Amino acid sequence: CGIVILHILGQGGALTCASRNDSRYWMIWWIEICAYCSVDLFALLSGWLEIKKKNYSIYRTLELIAVVIGYCVVITAVAFIIRPNALGSGKIIIKSLVPYLFGRYWYITCYIPIAILQPFINKMLMILSESQHKKVCILSVLLFSLIPTVLNRDLFAFGQGYSFIWLVICYMIGAYLKRRNDTTNRSHIRKRTCAIVFGMCSLILLAGKAIYDFIFKVDGHYFIEYTSPIVLLMSVVTLLFMEQLKVKIGSRFIEKMSTVAFDVYIIHCHILIFDIIICNHFRWITNMPIFLIPFVVVILAVIIYLVLSAIGIIRSFLYEKIYLNKLLKNIAIKVDKVIYDAER
């Protein structure tokens, strides 16, 4: 939902439409900042959930690739039937069919190698003692997050976090947090402390942006990027906060929705939907009363997530009915024997 919010406000045009002299501009940017940690959080969760995994298979990776290809074909076909003018030239059709070859779906492009290399990454991390693992995380944050962000220079070509290496670093940090959590058998930080730290970090980033904007008279993003140590800290405390939540009502529903989270990302980030349907179509948010903006943005994100999740569940059902999943499992069994059997 946080990633959907980023796209509603960013690609949707709300961030660029409002004036910095308008209080609604700062409300929209505060929401943006609060949601900015979502990408890091997703990568942290990968490390948290997978570091203790015992059995590995490339099946989920193959399924993800099949999901991307399936949506690209279907969305392109639907667009061709409904709005053929939207496709225009043959170049746009090619971009629509294989957007990942043109820089789209960057997260999945970077995530797939992590998924394939996961057993080897885990083995390297688990060889380290917990203390050594902690030191590697601290050094990584210092070298690849704090120093480049303070200097405002992309020293290691991380592309502000749009990179495979940054996701690996987040994976490694998430894995450490899980090891520490299991060792101590208790939460690292109390929920109240997590919430306070998150709130303070968001206000610090907002204040920093205000200073940067009014001094340099530009739309500054200093410290507001995925590799920012403050954004990373916000994602860490969010993970630790949510880890302590005990969901009793609707847990099965939430679990079902989580299985198609990538569907939500793949559908709404497809080039035709992202550049035509979403692009600049949420600028009207800037005309709303300021106190309504947070509620409307969150409700929009939840609605989009639920609708696209429903499509994802239907897609999952169809893949099962046409025996595509069975085919992928058979392929995965053969591939697993080659690359993973020795690791079991």
Residue 222 pLDDT greater than 80, yes or no: yes
Residue 198 pLDDT greater than 70, yes or no: yes
Mean of pLDDT over the chain: 91
The pLDDT score that the predictor gives to residue 150 is 92
pLDDT classification of 187: cutoffs 50, 70, 90: low
The pLDDT score that the predictor gives to residue 213 is 84
pLDDT classification of 137: cutoffs 50, 70, 90: very high
* pLDDT mean over 145-152: 93
More confident residue, 179 or 189: 179
Tokens 């994602």 -> residue:
235
Residue 114 pLDDT greater than 90, yes or no: yes
CA-wise closest residue to 86 among 228, 338, 275: 275
Question: For 10-26, how does the pLDDT look when each residue is reduced to its tens digit (9 = 90+)?
Answer: 999 999 888 888 899 99
The Cα–Cα gap between 281 and 67 comes to 27
Residue 250 pLDDT greater than 90, yes or no: no
The strand ranges marked E within the chain are none
Tokens 């059995």 -> residue:
55
Residue 85 pLDDT greater than 80, yes or no: no
Residue 249 pLDDT greater than 90, yes or no: no
Q: How far is CA 332 from the centre of its chain?
A: 26
The pLDDT score that the predictor gives to residue 115 is 94
pLDDT classification of 212: cutoffs 50, 70, 90: confident
Q: For 31-35, 40-44, 103-107, 294-298, which range has the lowest pLDDT when averaged over its residues?
A: 103-107
Residue 170 pLDDT greater than 60, yes or no: yes
CA-wise closest residue to 332 among 52, 17, 63: 63
Q: What are the contacts of 94-99 at 24+ separation with CB within 8 A?
A: 95/271, 96/72, 96/270, 96/271, 96/272, 97/72, 97/73, 98/72, 99/72, 99/270, 99/271
Residue 40 pLDDT greater than 90, yes or no: yes
Q: For 86-95, 195-204, 262-271, which range has the lowest pLDDT when averaged over its residues?
A: 86-95
More confident residue, 190 or 294: 294
Name every residue whose Cβ is closer than 8 Å to that of residue 165 and which is 6 or more positions away in sequence.
144, 156, 158
Residue 188 pLDDT greater than 70, yes or no: no
Name every residue whose Cβ is closer than 8 Å to that of residue 282 and which is 6 or more positions away in sequence.
8, 9, 12, 13, 14, 300
Is there a contact between 31 and 2 (Cβ–Cβ < 8 Å)?
Answer: no
